[in-house]
Chain A
Amino acid sequence: MPLSIEVLDLGLNNIGSLVNGINSTGDHKVRVINNGNESQGSDLLIIPGVGSFGAAMEELTNRDFTETIYKHHELNGRILGICLGMQLLTENSEESPGISGLGLIPGKVQKIPNSWGSKVPHVGWDGITLSNNNPLKNTGEWNTKDFYFVHSFRVVAEDPSNVLATTRLGKYDFVSAIHSENIIGFQFHPEKSSIAGKNLLSDVIEWI
């Protein structure tokens, strides 16, 4: 089923790979928008992200995206947050003290401690373990594939029901994907995760 999809351009990263990834899942109407007032409403709003929390929230504000996101959310539109985009969905981040996130998922963002026993940033391919009540179809598949991570901070979810997937890092697990009724967030980059990532995006499109 072809969807209407809007991708927010924060000016900080390339969305080419993401648009290509989405287009490979079907004949959708994908629009990249630079400003909130370009939004025409959509089935799915994608918040990509590279950069620091503070810089990204500043761009969201400057480009009038914050209102677009809240309006879309109120109308029960679906949202997909990727990497920093997932972190922006929470309330705040240690990376940029004093700056509020979108607050759509209760929780905060903290630095991955060096004491966990892994190199930080967490860079490279890693597996995920999906939680039991997740909205995606091919859970068995995703639990056996690797996806590309590149981050120094991780989300600490306040409500366990928002945890979609976890990944082990050193001694502990961190939240590698989150969800709520109409939101999905991935800490990793599905658009940079080769075939596994492409197939996962297909599942997300199905969920919509």
Chain B
Amino acid sequence: MAKVRVSPTILTNGISIVKGTEFNNERTVGSFTAAVNLFAMRDVDELTILDVNASREKRHIDVNLVKLAADSVNIPLCVGGGVNDLFTFEKLLRAGADKIVVGFGAIERPELIKKLSQRFGSQAVVLSIDAKTENSLEAATLSGTLPVLNKNIIDLAREGSEAGAGEILLQTISLEGTMRGMNNNLIEQVSSAVPIPIIAGSGASNYEDIYQAICSGASSVSAGAIFQFTEHTPKGAREYLKSRGMETRISY
């Protein structure tokens, strides 16, 4: 059985790394290459890189940026930002991404998830679904940059799974970057509704939060702020999870 994963998540505006809260107000917090190299040295389970401006600027995450990251690491890479066609998906795979996140693109083209999974295999396709607030299962966005969909999140998850998505990146906009804790209720409901793994994101403030998210059904936890702004580390997270009885990756 696959071990639980903790995936440090780097957000980029296309050039530097940024961090904001609630999918907004991002400010530059550092150099892209420095962050990638740092996490590579720390031998993390998986690295997630998302270009948060891509969708709203009507472009996709820079292929060269992805290649730069892929050439620096020998661990899995999950990337995303503005991907809405097969050609871009293929370019990103060739640049070194193992999995690619699709969000907004899947609304613009409902057949996209199906076509991507048929050509590239489900395992490469990650569908991004965001709850607008931690209080409701009804309001959702994909990529967070759009008018609220007012669709039931569980329905969206099921549709995505049936269309061929391999994993769901599940975030909650109102919690993002705030380190107020994670939306475990949502994680539990989505995880039990679909057979595919859930990557839970948004709100982790300490190792216990990560542990609880996994207890709620997440196979992986995507965390940004906690690793960038606090003394918590991916290794510390792995050690904590192990001390709580979870099977974590054996590392060097």
Contacts and interface: CB of A to CB of B under 8 A. Distances in A.
Same complex: yes
B81 interface: no
B236 interface: no
Nearest to B248: A125
B120 A126 contact: no
Contacts, number: 131
B62 to A, nearest CB: 15
A197 B122 CA distance: 23
A170 B122 contact: no
A144 interface: yes
Interface string B40-77: 00010110000000000000000000010011001110
A145 B219 CA distance: 19
A125 B3 contact: yes
Contacts of B121: 50-52, 84, 95, 151-152
Contacts of A195: 43, 252
Chain A, interface size: which category?
A: 35 or more
Contact of A149 (B2, B71, B99, B219): B2
Given A170-B1, A192-B98, A16 B120 contact: no
Interface residues of B, number: 40
Chain A binding surface, main DSSP class: mixed
B96 interface: yes
Contacts of B5: 124-125
A87 B98 CA distance: 18
Interface string B93-119: 111111100000000000000000011
Interface of A: 11-14, 16-17, 20-21, 50-52, 55, 84, 95, 114, 118-127, 144-146, 148-152, 168-170, 189, 191-198
Given A16-B70, A21-B74, A146-B249, 14 more contacts: A12-B90, A13-B94, A51-B121, A52-B119, A119-B196, A119-B219, A121-B122, A123-B197, A125-B2, A125-B5, A152-B122, A191-B74, A192-B76, A194-B75
List the 8 shortest-distance A-B pairs measured between CB atoms, nearest first. A124-B2, A14-B96, A125-B249, A121-B123, A119-B197, A114-B195, A150-B123, A121-B166
24 contacts: A12-B90, A13-B94, A14-B95, A14-B96, A20-B71, A50-B120, A51-B120, A51-B121, A52-B118, A95-B121, A119-B219, A123-B219, A123-B220, A124-B220, A125-B3, A126-B1, A144-B250, A146-B251, A149-B2, A150-B99, A152-B123, A170-B1, A192-B76, A196-B250
